Amino acid sequence: MAMHKSSSGSALGPGGLDLTQAFFKSVMNAAPSSPTKRHTKISVIGAGNVGMAIAQTILTQDLTDELVLVDAIPDKLRGEMLDLQHAAAFLPRTRIQASTDYSVTAGSDLCIVTAGARQIHGESRLNLLQRNVTLFQKIIPPLVRYSPDTILLIVSNPVDVLTYVAWKLSGFPSNRVIGSGTNLDSSRFRFLIADHLDVNAQDVQAFIVGEHGDSSVALWSSISVGGVPVLSFLEKQEITYEKEMLESIHKEVTESAYEVISLKGYTSWAIGYSVANLARSILRDQRRVHPVSVLAKGFYDIDGEVFLSLPAQLGRGGILGVTNVHFTEEEKHRLMNSATTILQVQNQLTI
């Protein structure tokens, strides 16, 4: 079912007559638009709370010329499309389309996948994951068929395993398959550290790496505030700190999503901003470093084909490289444990 109505249609005259020519007269000796002009297209797969928060943030931040929504529920999808289109007077000009047919995604620069199966009461995590794999088998191949040069950005949980699944199903080079990973966890981490020190979170450099989940790793050794490495500064000033205090901050990060879900039923706004932040870095070739889920084989002695979050440079080519961050032995050991945790789940899947 296609819903290709956009907020920029000009066929308003009798019988659908295009009124553009009546409203605007071309200047003399005009040439056609430059063939080098860049038209950016983003497709969001899944029009649930997370998908729509991402779409809304992308629109308000003027990140694309064309935004496409795809979902399996046509009525909700059309309602979401119309609701966004009706805000056209308050937003930068963006063509908004929606369809249950993946052909509408053709020529996308970035495909953001948020769709996922809901957990049934009493269902095991593995069974839920296998149902998500089945769902991805219906989503990823048509995205690849209609946009063979796109970058896949996976947001659906468990994000690390499903990014691996998307990579396998797509046949894409690993630099063009990215998971949202711990980009949001790291934002929560920076907020908590900034809150403790009463500074702006933008002045805090701090990463959570590994699994987007309970086995994530806080890189305390590389935290800096305003360019000052925090732990080495405390040691030089002979200021004592409790390791338990550091662990409690990390625990607060891993539990914060659960708290939001228990209070409002789901998370949406923070992940919306997080994914829009990644989209900006990719499509505008910002070459910024983000902790995102990447193929980690060959980094920090990781052997298996596993996706987990590492600080990576993002640009128009997707993953441009992984930052060579110094890990302490304890941090490296925890990262290996995180990789093992993901691999144990991954190895039980049928793809």
Q: Which residues are annotated as a binding site for NAD(+)?
A: 46-51, 71, 132, 155-157
Binding-site sequence positions: 46-51, 71, 132, 155-157
DSSP characters over 163-195: HHHHHHHH---GGGEEE-TTHHHHHHHHHHHHH
Please state, as a whole number, how many other Cβ atoms lie within 10 Å of the Cβ of residue 75: 9
Q: Which residues are catalytic?
A: 212
Is residue 279 a contact partner of residue 58, using CB atoms and an 8 Å limit?
A: yes
Beta-carbon contacts of residue 265 (< 8 Å; ≥ 6 apart)? none
- 111 SS3 class: strand
CA–CA dist 250, 256 (Å, integer):
10
Tokens of 150: 């796109």
Backbone angles phi, psi at 263, to 5 degrees: -90, -45
Q: β-strand 217-218 against 208-209: which pairing, if any?
A: antiparallel
DSSP characters over 275-292: HHHHHHHHHTT--EEEEE
